[in-house]
Amino acid sequence: MRDYGSVISKQFMTEKHRADVIAESISDGVFLLRGEEVLYLNQVAKNILGLDSEVVLQKNSLRLTDSQIFRNKDALAIILKVKSYVLPLEFACVIHGRKFYFRICSHPVFSEFLQEGTALVDEIVNQLQSSTLIFAEDITVIRENQEARSEFLAHLSHDVKTPLSSLTLAIRLLKKMIDEIPNPTHQALIVNCSNDIDRLRILIEELIKASCSEPTHKTPDI
């Protein structure tokens, strides 16, 4: 007679192994928590918290309240905060000497979506009930591009505003003397130049505003 419980357990463990491989291969942090208890962390999540893999192997269980084993205390505070936060949070942290940016959000794992099976499966299902799955999406490339763009626009606006100030001063002096210029064509040219300089100044101001715009749901760098 075929042992269906053994088959189900084998299939479950195969899928779990496959999920572990996927979680370890992505650049996003994956946290599975039940209250303060840590059920699962992929390598990126360990890096975010500043947790050594050797520490994980030495301890039978991990809790977020064991703050002494987490080097990045600020990231730990963000993880604790996001569990009860409705909107995603953004934060930055340094990993191996490089600054990374993450957008983090939490999702409760509902027990009605979990199916019971063998004793092994039931044990894992019991662990997952009332747990929270947290994803820390790596948005480093996006933020670095935005910072590079903002820096470029800031330098560009500064380099343009300097000669623009000189042109504005010169055209204002000419406008004060416009009645002394006998040629109507020259007078019209001065007026057109003044209007163009005003439009250019407005464009530069709008460019500066666009470069200074901040993304929403962002927390201070940590």
Q: Which CATH number fits domain 145-211: 1.10.3470, 1.10.10, 1.10.260, 1.10.287?
A: 1.10.287
DSSP-based three-state secondary structure for 134:
strand
222 residues of the chain, pLDDT tens digit each:
445 455 445 554 555 556 566 667 688 899 988 888 888 888 899 999 988 867 665 666 788 888 888 888 888 888 888 877 777 889 898 888 889 999 998 887 755 444 554 444 454 455 555 688 899 999 999 999 988 888 887 787 778 778 888 888 888 888 888 888 888 898 899 889 999 988 988 888 887 777 666 554 454 445
pTM for the full predicted model: 0.60
Label residue 51 exposed, middle or buried (CB < 10 Å: 0-12, 13-18, 19+): buried
Integer Cα distance of 130 and 33 in angstroms: 9
Q: Which fold has domain 4-138?
A: Beta-Lactamase (3.30.450)
Domain boundaries, the chain: 4-138, 145-211
Tokens of 50: 């500043």
